[in-house]
Amino acid sequence: MFLVDLLFPKFCAGCGKVGTYLCNKCLWDIQQTDLVCPQCERLSVGGLTHPLCKRRYGLDGLWSLGIYQDPLRKIIQKLKYKFVKDVGETLISLTLKYWVKFTPQLLEELKKDQGEGWVVIPVPLHPKRQRFRGFNQSAQLGKLLAQKIGLDYQEVLKRIKYTKPQVGLKGKERRENLKNAFEIDPSPSLPDQDDKLCSKNYTQLVNCLLIDDVWTTGSTIKECCYVLKKAGAQKVWAITLAR
């Protein structure tokens, strides 16, 4: 054991076991979720929006890694307050592994376009909340995803309204709460210049992989999708760790 491990022991984000950030048992216990249409949430091959459920400014598909239950729930909650890159990377790798297995449609599209015109975009936090937390976990996940599949990463969306937490609000209240909460950032700061991820500008904003940690009712992601499509995005897929 290294001295650093004695001073700063690692704990599994799922079960608290010492010596690792994510133990194999927890990794195995993550249950892959069925893929559903983001509009009606009924089963759908590859998470594609059913043709009849398509809306002009709506999502084209939804891809989630696992069911929002322990250990995945615990892991996600921990990551919110302390983002451990190792854990993020493991989860993104797992996502891609399942992705290859269950969502050839989206992958085929990405391959067909050779990633050209596709960007990874995180669901933003309000600046106040981000200052409090120190980072946005969806952004961290988005950067890892973009790196792994070789796409551009852009922080295109800005949260301009400090919204109440969505928990406890009903469908209509959720939508009301989120109305005008997001806008396209006219002058994005390049987050990590050394990442070389932010090379393109918005005129090439065509197809988006919108990433967030959890899909609960989808109202936040749907609102972001609406803003992106209003700004000219063609296809928008939602990618979340849990649903």
Nearer to Zn ion, 28 or 132 (CB): 28
**Applying CB under 5 A, does 50 fall inside the site for Zn ion?**
yes
Choose the stretch contacting Zn ion; rule: CB under 5 A; options: 39-47, 79-87, 125-133, 187-195: 39-47
3-state secondary structure at position 165: coil
CA distance 82 to 78: 6
H/E element, 28: helix 24-29
Nearer to Zn ion, 182 or 215 (CB): 215
Residue 106 to residues 38, 183, 228, Cα–Cα distance (Å): 14, 26, 19
CA distance 217 to 158: 21
Nearer to Zn ion, 10 or 17 (CB): 17
Q: Which residue has the tokens 């806008």?
A: 183
Nearer to Zn ion, 87 or 178 (CB): 87
Nearer to Zn ion, 26 or 181 (CB): 26
Taking CB under 5 A as the rule, which mask of x and - marks residues 72-111 in contact with Zn ion?
----------------------------------------
Choose the stretch contacting Zn ion; rule: CB under 5 A; options: 51-59, 181-189, 196-204, 222-230: 51-59
CB contact at 8 A, 120 and 153 = yes
**Applying CB under 5 A, does 39 fall inside the site for Zn ion?**
yes
**Applying CB under 5 A, does 15 fall inside the site for Zn ion?**
yes
Choose the stretch contacting Zn ion; rule: CB under 5 A; options: 37-45, 127-135, 164-172, 182-190: 37-45
CB contact at 8 A, 161 and 127 = no
Distance in Å, CB of 78 to Zn ion, minimum: 11
Q: Of the candidates 10, 11, 46, 53, which one interacts with Zn ion according to CB under 5 A?
A: 53
Backbone angles phi, psi at 239, to 5 degrees: -120, 125
CA distance 88 to 75: 10
**Applying CB under 5 A, does 14 fall inside the site for Zn ion?**
yes
H/E element, 152: strand 152-153
Q: Of the candidates 18, 40, 100, 160, which one interacts with Zn ion according to CB under 5 A?
A: 40
Q: Is 216 exposed, middle or buried (0-12, 13-18, 19+ CB in 10 A)?
A: middle
CB contact at 8 A, 147 and 88 = no
Nearer to Zn ion, 50 or 133 (CB): 50
**Applying CB under 5 A, does 23 fall inside the site for Zn ion?**
yes
Q: Which residues bind Zn ion (CB under 5 A)?
A: 12, 14-15, 17, 23, 26, 37, 39-40, 50, 53
